[in-house]
Structure 1
Amino acid sequence: MAFWLVLLLIGALLLMVIGFNAMQQQRERTEALRRTELTRQRAIIEETEEVLANTGMFPCSPNVSIVLYRRIREAAKQALQLAAPQQRGDYERRILDLDSIINNQKAVGGQAPSLESFKLPDNDRQVLVLVQTLKKLRAIIRDEHNKGKIDPTAFANEESRINNLQLRINVDSMLSRARSSCYMKQYGSARQMVTKALSTLNAIKAQTPNDPFISKKVEEAKALLDEINGAVKSNAPSAPKPKEENDIDVIFQPKKKW
């Protein structure tokens, strides 16, 4: 009897150990998932705040600003549920601030600024930041649209604005590099850049013939191409002049037989 009692106690102890280990592993998995999800929400907040901070580099519509602030608020709410107790106060204050900003943005409203005011930054690093910002903004807009948080019409308008901005950046960059190459007398590279810019502009002009930016840049590119061709002609080596024969050479040269 005592033997079976000992076996029963050992079996119960083993079950307790196994159960404790299973619970411990489950807690560790839950904690790991919590930390992973919290890290993901923080990454969303940081990326969206970075994009929001760079919207001053281009004409940004109020709708986009509201979408970005809402995205940050949603991520902050998710992070609040996952954060440690000592961190929750910071997220609660941030959410209140975001609510106030979003309400103010809605109250002010306003139309989207014209893209005609856009100018490409002179600094190459700023151009790179701008290109990366627009790429991230496009991904955010699409993600929010897929979640049903952006009206289809508003989404189409913002997507079109981003496409237009990227076009302007590409064309302006090509023409700027062409001018630099021309200044350095690298006319072949300059002509190649201008030709590429013209091909891009003409392809888009066929779709949007009334876009004033396209018409303006087409004329600008043609003028630059004429300037490059003129510079090539003026810098081309002149043909060697025929050597003038010396009078003495003419006298003593072999006589021709008639």
Structure 2
Amino acid sequence: MTFTLVLLLIGALLLMVIGINVIQQQKERAEAEKRIEMAKQRAIIEETEEVLSNFGLILPTPNTSLILYRRVFEALKTAAALSTSQQADYQRRIADISGLIEKLNQTPPTAPSVESFRLPDDDKKVLSIVKTLKKLKAILRAEHNKGKVEPNIFAEEESRIDSLQLRINVESMISRARSACYLKQYGSAKQMVTKALGTLQAIKAQSPNDPFIGKKVDEAKQLLNEIMGAQDTNAPIVQKPKDEEDDIDMLFQPKKKW
């Protein structure tokens, strides 16, 4: 009888230890998942706020601003629910973003014209614009895939980003072609401006009334003419080889007497 009780006690202890281990493992797993989700939400917040910080360079629309602020708002709410030590900070930021969203909802949805976009002379700013547009496009696509952006708004905003990227690409190619021409690298200059002109001509066929495209087509054509003219002017003079018969005649011609 005593032996049976001992076995039962040992079995109960084993079950208790196993149960405690299972509970501990579940708790650790839940904490790990919580940390992963928290890191994910922080990354979303940081990425979106980085894009927002460069908005002054890319002529944002009210729709784009709303999409990004709502993305930050949702991430902050999720992070606040997971956090136990930063509740006050998250609640303050949620209130600030909520106010911005409300203000944007009351703003007329008028977007600045893409034609008014001007590429800055500072290379660092140009690089920031390129990176910002790339990230913005990825964010819009992700939000659209989640069903948080209406299809017509997504198509309109993506088309706008494509147009801005095109302008930057064309401006960059023409600028590099000018630099190559200045360095007398006429082959590279001609190749870049020809590529820019081909891109412009293809877009002009789709948007014949776009003043930017028409202006850049004329600019690229003029630059191409300048490059070809400079290439002809600076081409090395090739001396024609003497004819073999002329050499023989010179060899056997009568010597002059002085």
TM-score, normalised relative to structure 1: 0.91
Equivalence map 1:74-153=2 (5 Å):
74-84=74-84, 86-153=85-152
Are the aligned partners of 2:63 and 2:109 in contact in 1 as well (CA < 8 Å)? no
Deviates more, 1:73-82 or 1:111-120: 111-120
- 1:47 is matched with 47
Deviations 1:136-159 (A, max 9, x none): 101111111222222221111101
Equivalence map 1:28-47=2 (5 Å):
28-47=28-47
Work out the number of aligned pairs and report it.
248
- 2:181 is matched with 182
**Which amino acid in structure 2 is aligned with residue 60 of structure 1?**
P
Distance across 2 between alignment mates of 1:242 and 1:87: 85
Identity of aligned residues (%): 65
How far off its partner does 1:186 sit? 0.9
Deviations 1:201-255 (A, max 9, x none): 1222222222222111111100000010111111123455999xxxxxx9x9449
- 1:160 is matched with 159
How far off its partner does 1:97 sit? 0.6
**Which amino acid in structure 1 is aligned with residue 63 of structure 2?**
N
Are the aligned partners of 2:180 and 2:186 in contact in 1 as well (CA < 8 Å)? yes
Gaps of 5+ in 2: 243-249
Equivalence map 1:204-215=2 (5 Å):
204-215=203-214
**Which amino acid in structure 2 is aligned with residue 48 of structure 1?**
T
Gaps of 5+ in 1: 244-249
Distance across 1 between alignment mates of 2:108 and 2:29: 46
How far off its partner does 1:108 sit? 2.5
TM-score, normalised relative to structure 2: 0.91
Distance across 2 between alignment mates of 1:56 and 1:241: 61
User: Are 2:232 and 1:233 aligned?
Assistant: yes
**Which amino acid in structure 2 is aligned with residue 76 of structure 1?**
L
Distance across 2 between alignment mates of 1:74 and 1:242: 79
Distance across 2 between alignment mates of 1:212 and 1:33: 53
Deviates more, 1:52-61 or 1:17-26: 52-61
- 2:24 is matched with 24
Q: Secondary structure at the match of 1:179?
A: helix
Are the aligned partners of 2:41 and 2:78 in contact in 1 as well (CA < 8 Å)? yes
Deviations 1:164-190 (A, max 9, x none): 001001100000000111111111110
- 1:15 is matched with 15
Distance across 2 between alignment mates of 1:239 and 1:134: 50
Are the aligned partners of 2:48 and 2:72 in contact in 1 as well (CA < 8 Å)? yes
Deviations 1:8-56 (A, max 9, x none): 0000000000000000000000000000000000000000000011111
